[in-house]
Structure 1
Amino acid sequence: MSINDRILTPFTLPNGVELKNRLLMAPMTTCTGINNGMVSPELVEYYRVRAGSIGAVIVECCFIDDKGLAFPGAIGIDHDDKVAGLAQIAAAIKGQGSKAILQIYHGGRMVEPELIGGNSPVGPSAIAAPREGAAKPLALTGEQVDYTIYQFGEGVRRAIEAGFDGVEIHGANTYLIQQFYSPHSNQRTDHWGGSRDNRTRFPLAVLDITHSMARQYADPSFIIGYRFSPEELEEPGIRFADTMYLLEKLAQRGLDYLHFSMGYFLRPSIVDTQDPAPLIEKYIAMRSAELARVPVMGVGGVVNKTDTDMALEHGYDLVAVGKACIAYPDWTDRIASQQTLELFIDSTKREELTIPEPLWRFSLVDAMIRDMSLSSKKFKAGVFQEKVQTDDDSQPVINVSLETDRITDVTLQPDASLDVAFVTSFETIRSRILDANSPHVDAVSGATTQSESVKKAVAKALAKSCKAQILEEGGNPAASQNYDVVVIGSGGAGLAAAIQASDDGARVLVIEKMSGIGGNTIKASAGMNAAETRFQKLKGIVDSKEWFYQETLKGGNYKNNTVLLNRFVEQAPLAVEWLADRGIELNDITITGGMSVDRTHRPADGSAVGGYLISGLVKNLNKRNIDVMLDTSVTEILYQQGVVTGVRVLNEDQEQLTIVSKSVVVASGGFSANSEMVVKYRPELAGFVTTNHKGATGSGIALLEQIGAGTVDMGEIQIHPTVEQTTSYLISESIRGGGAILVNQNGQRFFNEMETRDKVSAAIINLPEKYAYIVFDEQVRLKNKAADEYLARGFVISADTPQALAAELNIDPQTLQATLARYSGFVEAQCDSDFGRSSALRHPVNQGPFYAIRIAPGVHHTMGGVVINADSAVLDSQNQVINGAFAAGEVVGGLHGNNRIGGNAVADIIIFGIQAGNQAASYALR
């Protein structure tokens, strides 16, 4: 029988169970768990449609301890109440004719504190993972190690009760089991650590208890697999010989399969980079006769039947298929019929492909949604080398391999001095760039700086290649480029304008002076205000545009431009739908200061709106073939004979270029980060920190002033009351909107927390200490993911009781306890007789743990800027339209009066960004 025939024929495991073929769906996290790890109906359907023709489905990793989840939206097997939901998945898979296997794990030190209530993760030793921002874990005691093994056993019991055909023990991906075997993460001195033999004890104990549970509760057909990562980059770390030693011991205990965990099934060593031999070849050569009896499974990079055949040729017995099963639920049928597949997902097919919404937004899938942003560019084929600028000035070198229309590879030049964390994050960002065919992808969580430096280097290589191709064709790279619309700034307003202009038929260029996309929007936390929306109605929230108008007018002290305000209020619900139509759904709702109704729309999980918004907008940008220039400053808007004719720019290489354009949208933000400009208009703000990113310097205002634009309200500069002063990090208004209070150093409330920002800021500044504490309890934390971020960043002081929290804050315990009790009474009565707070009286502050963050005001928003009309056209000092010039976002003045309401900035940038893009395209295409 040929290898080509073998992949689709039955295969018998060591326990006698027959799989209908040698193909398995790989375990891939979907982030679709609900209510602390329960199974959702859409997750059941996701697995149902992918079962059937494939031999087995390995269901994504299930945490065996609620302190062991390594992903948001993870599913759990930590309690008996999870069994019913998991049973639905097992029944759905088996009902279609495939075997159902459940992967079980504990994340150990790889767990982020924000996922477990701000608590510290645990590990074999108190040694943090070598990655940016990694938390130092608490070392498990001997008793806790024993209990964790018991928890693995209970997980197996529950899997059997749920009807699964087997379990896969997750001993890979640097999670807890691997951590116990690693000499880097396990530096214990008891019998669980030290020698290599001692370090094998934990994985062997987990396998032993798995066998014990299978003997007690399952029949002999129960499948037991083990997933492993063959090497670690850490020093000291697991090497391939160590892995073989462990696998031999596992095989002696009995396994039905071993599962290599690698990004590519023919990957060579990541330690010995001079040896090109695939690790599977080394494995075959080194294994004993006993280990050879255990089938071995490969995973990574399998898309077509040629890939599966190659895996068998190199010695794999089984093949696990990952992303291809997401993109093609009927993948097995397709390869059986000899189809040649391309790994991408049509952006309009989410529901048809039964991909749950959280998975659709997860980077694994996001990267497969085809980015055609480079399709209009022509590269010179070849390899282009760039240095990556890192914080430690190590300057690793990458090689970017290009065909004429795509990126074929991004590799890291071997360098023994490279930081382990950099190498690890590089592999992830490399995969995202290759899948998306673009450097404009989400950064790796926990390695943002490293990711951005790699993305920038790739972008520079692409620019070099484009120039080389133009020269080869006899062209001039410095020649003027032509566009219908140039957008200056890549924050929310700029991206919304670019997307809308493109949708209206214009050829669009986005120019950004910073190294990355996102502007100040990426720091936004609260949400987007809008009244009379579909999402409010679904939640039974009664609201009106008139209330929204009046409260915004009052919040701005009646100094708002009422023409702009009317357009703003009318268009807000349409802008929420505009986002939803483009896969950016803001369907959870909270409240901010100055509002009387819940109308602040944010992501479903309650997370900060900024990153979610920018990620979704960039995905839309990429799909529309919109060009982006980063590290490029606009030095002049060209204005001749009464019309805009283009822009002059200066790129990172100090090249001056002219770009011809029929219209320009300026969306470059405000000037909060320009201290000189702030002090010019408000001398009393000298020395205040700012929450803004360093690119918020007011450059767009200056550019428009050069062509005659008028300005308004330049002295109206908002300070935000709740800013963590050591990092200038803004503490979201959604925390107070979720039920938190403010107390002074005496432990007493001193003002209505839900008043407008200017008034709350003034009240804090008037305190003798000039700072305050925002205090909240576990109820607030659970409903506001931003709070978990603050915990992870170390801003939060926590304690189990109010008295203990008071001691941490050097506050009189009785006073703080009395303050919380009095406020809780106001919540019960829904009446704050001390300060008149009438909104966000959500629940008493009485459920521990209790939390506090020390805050003080910081410069946050500049309400002043250039003058526009209701159609976003820029006006000159005589209120006449400047033909071809449009503006949106914080660069514009007038809308907010002398105080901006929290949640109105995001609404502003999206509403007027859409409108500016539409009007600029209409003007250019007339």
Structure 2
Amino acid sequence: MNTNDRLFSSFTLPNGTELKNRLFMAPMTTCTGYYDGSVTSELVEYYRVRAGSIGTIIVECCFIDDLGLAFPGAIGIDHDDKIPGLAKIADAIHGEGSRAILQIYHGGRMVDPKLIGGRTPVGPSAVAAPREGAATPVALTGEEVEGIIGKFGEAVRRAIQAGFDGVEIHGANTYLIQQFYSPNSNQRSDEWGGSRDNRAKFPLAVLDITHKMVRQYADDAFIIGYRFSPEELEVPGIRFDDTLYLLEKLAARGLDYLHFSLGAALRPSIVNTDDPTPLIDRYCALRSETLAQIPIMGVGGVVNASDACVAMDHGYDLIAVGRAAIAYPDWAERVRNGETLELFMDSTRREALNIPEPLWRFSLVEAMIRDMSMGESKFKPGVFVENVQDDANELVINVTLETDRIADIELAEGPDQNVEFVTSFEEIRTRILDANTPHVDAITGATSQSEAVKKAVSKAMVKSSKALAAEEGVDLNQDRRVDVVVVGSGGAGLAAAIQAHDEGASVLIVEKMPTIGGNTIKASAGMNAAETRFQRVKGIQDSKALFYQESLKGGGNKNNPELLHRFVENAPQAIEWLATRGIMLNDITTTGGMSIDRTHRPKDGSAVGGYLISGLVRNVNKRNIEVMLDTSVTDILFENGEVTGVRLTTEEGETIVVSTQSVIVATGGFSANSQMVVKYRPDLDGFVTTNHKGATGGGIALLERIGAGTVDMGEIQIHPTVEQTTSYLISESIRGGGAILVNQQGNRFFNEMETRDKVSAQIIALPEKYAYIVFDEHVRAKNKAADEYIAKGLVTSASSPKALAETLGMDYHAFLATLERYNGFVEKQHDDDFGRTTALRAPINEGPFHAIRIAPGVHHTMGGVTINTETCVLNKERQVIPGAFAAGEVVGGIHGGNRIGGNAVADIIIFGTLAGHQAAMRAKR
């Protein structure tokens, strides 16, 4: 096995979580927090630039109590108000594709009184550390010990809520946890001291409460690590056999890794100085079979790949990189490329490498800091005045641009007396300035205003870029050239663009709407895939064969078998493709037509669409992929039997020709084109649609003009649960979470988890033509999308079932009987009335109780252009049209006569990434 295979191969932890490689950035003190222990923007950037190619970042230790900070500028996790700042660090690391683990600690007697306002530090006993100037701590009472354990638990909860992938319990470096185990610092005579077993109770209690918090607030993928120092110099003090004794007890309770705290990975004993044997060798020789199941991490002296390999030769499973990761933010990438590195410091390079000033002055920073050159200028500096319109107001916005960034956004004219308006404007302004791009998430509740501001910035950037090009003598009428043009910016288009870019292609995304996201942003349920890592972690037994059969059955056996096989086979890879780009779908539910939980969604249970688009846009921004909004593709240029380019029309009416070898059409379906819908399905005249207004079938028409064939155009899906006054889709995950459907009489009338076509038909057959989706507080708490429906005023709520029935005008006796009967089915896990076999999760009995009035609406067009399994568009004779690729709802054949909920999101990622790959390969040829 070569060096790169050893270091960069994936690694699975005991809990089933897969790490993309064996490399960690060690937790190193930066001293960069605010005075109160909160996070600075400088610290966020420090971690952001070091994430990416290294698999996992362990963020520096956070104090769990305000008496526990052991150094100036420490960051804390002692209060809920620290969560947002810590979340920025986690998000920054995830945004670059690495996992984020947070180290938590209490300094105990090692705390300098100056750091805690002159107060006296605490410890297991009133015994000062045997170091010059050390303060004598106050011994913790038994009640206070219990309180400290509780604070460790609260810290774990906060780490989970901040979005970290795990915590590392800091039981090393003579801090409080180690102090309790040490016979030097712990001279208590109660249950927390004396014997070795009693001294071990504190670290074990911290681990126990960590597990408790993880069970309550996280999922099974959450990582728990423990850092330890193997020996103490003090007499009496911890010796190596003491450490093995404690580690065996910790391992029995469950850990995902152990972290040796050593100055050098191969350091021998500091007590028995006559023995040159590295402690890791002694550890591997003496550990039990149980302890051998816990991966061990080494740290200290790892600068080059050879250092890491030698450490692994001695038994380390994982490698933590310290000072080298400070000196080289892209250390892992350099090592992968075979570079040999040295550690020394260049005093002129601090800012370029995002090393905070306090860390720069820290004595252990002895590394070279390499220059990170600024990118070329993109804009002509100046203030650009843009007039835009939101739903209610004409806005005049001044956009200030510098050569390489958006410097300011000012509201020149607008309803500046409206506090709510101004507040949301400031929020979207901050998001754009922080990200240095208009492609950011809109403000919830102020979508129209947000999109107007984003459009103003986009227009200013286009004008400025054109002005710069003219100033530099660039002929703006000259045809542009890129390797790949992606038409459409929904999930399929964004995935295709990212994949093509990552394979070396130059990419342009063209979007006719003023915003990114397409119809994907409205997706709610999740993404289906079988045999995934996340299913295995949760103990879900699934198979691709079953997934294929249920999708085929759901599609009425009309699916294209070859496309469906490719879809099912590539689905787990698509889940991993997203995960490696910081888009984790690790909570799992089910949808109608599925017999197994295989619908992957964000871990907080929120709607998948907004989360997915945010993550994909973050990746597009990171790669500086150009996006042209408000721009239509009027023609795909076709010469000598192959695609040669596209003709574009901008919002201002300007025509632009872009030469390219590959065009990926990912423009979605035609559900919002009522005329086209009725052409193929006259029976759907008058139905509302859940789709965004851009879903008009334009991509199908573009491809038909160059000879593309179509299939299944009459196969149009209606979704059963659509709020009719807003056309808002109520996610299938609500029913998948345990909700039921009742009619106006308060009775269930069908299996809620049947396929969408069958459920829709049953609702249409009701005399009233509508139904209610009914759920309780338990379902709401597990499905974040429900909070959105409540906020939008779509939900009727009441404290009791009787009150809810009366509010809805139904017979409450019948409704109460319905709930009682359904809850009985849940208890015995069998639906005697309608044969429901999935999502019988919990009885509906926890108030408040909720209902949404729904009826079917046009949701998905299964028909579209024909493609082969490589996403190449086929003509009417089923021959490949060279250079034309398609993915997403613009394509027909995959879903047959009915699409299973959760299969569309899988479709766009599977075939979007495949199209990106094929287009990039064609560009290389």
TM-score by length of 2: 0.64
Judge conservation of contact 1:94–1:100 (CA < 8 Å) in 2: no
Q: Could you tell me how far 1:664 is from its partner in structure 2?
A: 0.2
Judge conservation of contact 1:744–1:771 (CA < 8 Å) in 2: yes
Cα RMSD after superposing both structures: 3.8
Q: Could you tell me how far 1:435 is from its partner in structure 2?
A: 2.4
Q: Could you tell me how far 1:418 is from its partner in structure 2?
A: 5.3
Which residue of the partner structure matches residue 619 of structure 2? 620
Do structure 1's residue 801 and structure 2's residue 800 form an aligned pair? yes
What secondary structure does 2:486 align onto? strand
Judge conservation of contact 1:394–1:418 (CA < 8 Å) in 2: no
Judge conservation of contact 1:56–1:99 (CA < 8 Å) in 2: no
Which residue of the partner structure matches residue 867 of structure 1? 866
User: Which sits farther off after the overlay, 849-858 or 428-437?
Assistant: 428-437
What secondary structure does 2:483 align onto? strand
The equivalences for 1:766-805 within 5 A come to 766-805=765-804
Please tell me the residue identity of whatever aligns with 1:378: K
Which residue of the partner structure matches residue 72 of structure 2? 54
Which residue of the partner structure matches residue 858 of structure 1? 857
Cα-to-partner distance string for 1:825-869 (whole Å, 9 max, x where unaligned): 111111111111111111111222211110000000000000000
Rounded to whole Å, the distance in 2 between the matches of 1:20 and 1:865 is 55
Q: Could you tell me how far 1:94 is from its partner in structure 2?
A: 8.9
Do structure 1's residue 341 and structure 2's residue 356 form an aligned pair? no
Q: Could you tell me how far 1:28 is from its partner in structure 2?
A: 7.9
Rounded to whole Å, the distance in 1 between the matches of 2:844 and 2:60 is 37
Which residue of the partner structure matches residue 577 of structure 1? 576
Which residue of the partner structure matches residue 655 of structure 2? 656
What secondary structure does 2:643 align onto? strand
Judge conservation of contact 1:549–1:565 (CA < 8 Å) in 2: yes
User: Which sits farther off after the overlay, 842-851 or 560-569?
Assistant: 842-851
Q: Which runs of 5+ in 1 are unaligned?
A: 1-18, 32-40, 75-87, 102-157, 165-326, 347-370
Rounded to whole Å, the distance in 2 between the matches of 1:925 and 1:26 is 48
Please tell me the residue identity of whatever aligns with 1:683: P
Do structure 1's residue 382 and structure 2's residue 382 form an aligned pair? yes
Q: Could you tell me how far 1:798 is from its partner in structure 2?
A: 1.2
Cα-to-partner distance string for 1:319-360 (whole Å, 9 max, x where unaligned): xxxxxxxx99999xx99x9974369799xxxxxxxxxxxxxx
The equivalences for 1:536-575 within 5 A come to 536-575=535-574
Which residue of the partner structure matches residue 151 of structure 1? none
Cα-to-partner distance string for 1:864-897 (whole Å, 9 max, x where unaligned): 0000000000000000000000000000000000
Which residue of the partner structure matches residue 476 of structure 1? 475
Structure 1 residues 431, 720: CA separation in 2 closer, same or farther (over 3 Å shift)? same
Which residue of the partner structure matches residue 394 of structure 2? 394
Cα-to-partner distance string for 1:380-420 (whole Å, 9 max, x where unaligned): 122222224233333232132322x2223333337784533
Cα-to-partner distance string for 1:120-162 (whole Å, 9 max, x where unaligned): xxxxxxxxxxxxxxxxxxxxxxxxxxxxxxxxxxxxxx99998
Q: Could you tell me how far 1:54 is from its partner in structure 2?
A: 2.9
The equivalences for 1:291-440 within 5 A come to 340-341=350-351, 378-403=378-403, 405-413=404-412, 417=416, 419-440=418-439
Which residue of the partner structure matches residue 5 of structure 1? none
Which residue of the partner structure matches residue 882 of structure 2? 883
Do structure 1's residue 813 and structure 2's residue 812 form an aligned pair? yes
Rounded to whole Å, the distance in 2 between the matches of 1:415 and 1:803 is 47
What secondary structure does 2:636 align onto? strand
What secondary structure does 1:413 align onto? strand
Which residue of the partner structure matches residue 765 of structure 1? 764
Q: Could you tell me how far 1:428 is from its partner in structure 2?
A: 2.4
Rounded to whole Å, the distance in 1 between the matches of 2:72 and 2:468 is 45
Please tell me the residue identity of whatever aligns with 1:805: L
Q: Could you tell me how far 1:541 is from its partner in structure 2?
A: 0.1
Structure 1 residues 907, 159: CA separation in 2 closer, same or farther (over 3 Å shift)? same
Which residue of the partner structure matches residue 922 of structure 1? 921
Q: Which runs of 5+ in 2 are unaligned?
A: 1-30, 45-56, 89-102, 118-145, 153-324, 330-343, 357-371
Rounded to whole Å, the distance in 1 between the matches of 2:852 and 2:746 is 13
Judge conservation of contact 2:71–2:115 (CA < 8 Å) in 1: no
What secondary structure does 1:851 align onto? strand
Which residue of the partner structure matches residue 510 of structure 1? 509
Please tell me the residue identity of whatever aligns with 1:341: E
Rounded to whole Å, the distance in 1 between the matches of 2:826 and 2:673 is 42
Which residue of the partner structure matches residue 6 of structure 1? none
Structure 1 residues 582, 96: CA separation in 2 closer, same or farther (over 3 Å shift)? farther
Rounded to whole Å, the distance in 1 between the matches of 2:519 and 2:453 is 21
What secondary structure does 2:616 align onto? helix
TM-score by length of 1: 0.64
Rounded to whole Å, the distance in 1 between the matches of 2:460 and 2:812 is 60
Which residue of the partner structure matches residue 529 of structure 2? 530
Rounded to whole Å, the distance in 2 between the matches of 1:389 and 1:377 is 30
Rounded to whole Å, the distance in 1 between the matches of 2:377 and 2:738 is 51
Judge conservation of contact 2:62–2:105 (CA < 8 Å) in 1: no
Rounded to whole Å, the distance in 1 between the matches of 2:572 and 2:583 is 14
Match of 1:91 among 102, 106, 117: 106
Q: Could you tell me how far 1:545 is from its partner in structure 2?
A: 0.2
Cα-to-partner distance string for 1:522-567 (whole Å, 9 max, x where unaligned): 0000000000000000000000000000000000000000000000
Rounded to whole Å, the distance in 2 between the matches of 1:22 and 1:488 is 46
Structure 1 residues 891, 161: CA separation in 2 closer, same or farther (over 3 Å shift)? closer
Which residue of the partner structure matches residue 585 of structure 2? 586
Cα-to-partner distance string for 1:630-679 (whole Å, 9 max, x where unaligned): 00010000011101011001101110111111110000000000111101
What secondary structure does 1:918 align onto? helix
What secondary structure does 2:662 align onto? strand
Give the length in aligned residue pairs.
Answer: 639
Rounded to whole Å, the distance in 2 between the matches of 1:94 and 1:606 is 42
Q: Could you tell me how far 1:63 is from its partner in structure 2?
A: 7.6
Please tell me the residue identity of whatever aligns with 1:62: D
Judge conservation of contact 1:28–1:61 (CA < 8 Å) in 2: no
Which residue of the partner structure matches residue 724 of structure 2? 725
Rounded to whole Å, the distance in 2 between the matches of 1:345 and 1:684 is 65
Which residue of the partner structure matches residue 209 of structure 1? none
Judge conservation of contact 2:70–2:107 (CA < 8 Å) in 1: no
What secondary structure does 2:722 align onto? strand
Structure 1 residues 840, 459: CA separation in 2 closer, same or farther (over 3 Å shift)? same
Rounded to whole Å, the distance in 2 between the matches of 1:163 and 1:684 is 62
Judge conservation of contact 1:483–1:509 (CA < 8 Å) in 2: yes
Rounded to whole Å, the distance in 1 between the matches of 2:59 and 2:839 is 34
Judge conservation of contact 1:377–1:466 (CA < 8 Å) in 2: no
Q: Could you tell me how far 1:434 is from its partner in structure 2?
A: 2.3
